[in-house]
Structure 1
Amino acid sequence: MNTSRMAWTPSLLYAPSGVGSPRRNVVVLSDGTGTERTVSFAATLANARGGELILVSAAVRSSGTPLSLANGMLDERREMARRSLTTVDSSLNLQTRAAARVGRNYSTIAREASEEFSAGVVVVDESESMTTTAFGRSVATRVGGRVDCDVISVGGNHLSSDVSSILVPVAGGPHSGLAVDMARYIAEKYGAWIELLHVVPCSEDERAHADANRYITAASERLGEFSAVDEWILEADDATDAIVDQSQYYDVTVLGAPQKNRLREFVFGSTTADVRSSAYSTVVSVERPDRRDSLLENWL
């Protein structure tokens, strides 16, 4: 384990979207069973970086829905948002607000809510009701290319509220630094430990292993004084299968999102969508649109 750490400066890790932009944390909720988990992680993030926590309960309205019915949907969703606020840890010093919005799909609601509330980050509850496109693009992926703020999705198959371990597959993707930051926020809130993992194909040479060590070292240094961390370089034929297989031993897996405008952008050989759909753990995907935050870019 690498014990040489750089100083960790929270104000530099999560800069606002723009000069003078308020740090509002907008959470877009559906009616999925993972809502409480998403609210918990969003509140952890809001507590770490500051700013108001706004829960937006979203309802999809089909074309031609009568206005009276749409208003009824809003009332119902607003009450759901208020109930979700009661799950926020009372020990956190947070300003909170409940809201409801109706739109033609979840990604449109998320984009419009981001603009309306001048969001510094949008957190999307990727439940089963938030369906993906035929190309496997999640709601968060569709939102990420069209908003000027950080985008975080919370999904996966593990719904336990207990978090004792976090898997962070690391590489040189544009959002890898943000993924490490998010893992630390969650770990500090729940008293969890972090496993930094880089997957190297079995056929790769010494240079690939040297690069793997650089990624792991950069991620370790990004964690600053956080010490509950292990590091692992794993040889495997397929990175996706390796990450999915390892996810069963952790409560949360945190990944950087693919680069935008790519149908099949790889995360060191695997796609975020593949891991999200198959992992045994909660999957948190992070993205910082138009603002690269690569581990090696900042490290070098």
Structure 2
Amino acid sequence: MTNFSGRTALIAPQRSGDPNKQHRSLATANCRCSVSPQRMMPIFGMLCLVTFTFTPWLPTVTAFSTACSISISRHYAEKDITVTRRSPFRLSMSPMDGDTNDDGTDDFSTMMASLHSRFKEIQDKETKIPLVVLDSMLPRQVLRVQVRNELMMDLVRDCLQREHPFFGMLGMARLRSGQQIHLTQGVEVEILKDELEFQQNDGGQGEKEGGMKLALRAGRRFQIEGEIENAGGGWTEARVTFLDSEQEERTEIENGKDPTVVARAISRARELTSPNMNMPNNLSLVDRWIELAKENERQEG
């Protein structure tokens, strides 16, 4: 069996007067090979059995070569011919020999470590967001505030510099004991660049002293997962899971088939809308909430 290398193989029989010098040539796109068998019967053509065998490979970034084996069996000859071609299509997952750097590491390991670091960075960007405790907001609600806190302004500038003008907004809850705690659910707010305005004080010392006017639009709701951490800029951040409203509604509908769940929801609704003796003027919880919202609103309406 004789091995040949090439890209596109074409076998063409050629006749001669002497059967012992019967000559058959193999023409390829990239190379030219020939076979001269010692003993060959005089015929006008060849009966060939062609078998293509492709070896699948997983992608990588270090080696590029695909193996394709073509076996041509001549039933009238003493030996078989095997043609093997290599073309730049294989992606191997293992480093090739000789790819080791001076420090003992190879290019493959370095590249995989870089890809892993980049993947973790993208994952953190999607699931870990800065947090600000300011007010409870609902999706699509717009909140306009004037900020003089230097840390808050640094956070806004950092978000704009990274071209990712989003951060998390949380509200506060007061327990019956009087203790205030941060809510674990909030909304992702977007900094509306068109309404961003830096101000200067009377002395003209710059934007930090004068503050800034912000317009924040609430978007996706999220649930905090794990612990809240301190970021490098001084603010806090946490890994969050964004909530799917449609999925929650489907879950509520499915759970609503249970009569006890429906009865519990009706009972809670009555508690919220009925007069409450613990509220001023026996207001219901809903009416009291509306009253407090109007008293503490930052702008009318």
TM band (smaller chain)? under 0.3
* TM-score when normalising by structure 2: 0.19
- Higher helix proportion: 1
TM-score by length of 1: 0.19
- Larger RCO (CA within 8 A; separation ≥ 6): 1
For the pair shown, the structure with the greater C-alpha radius of gyration is 2
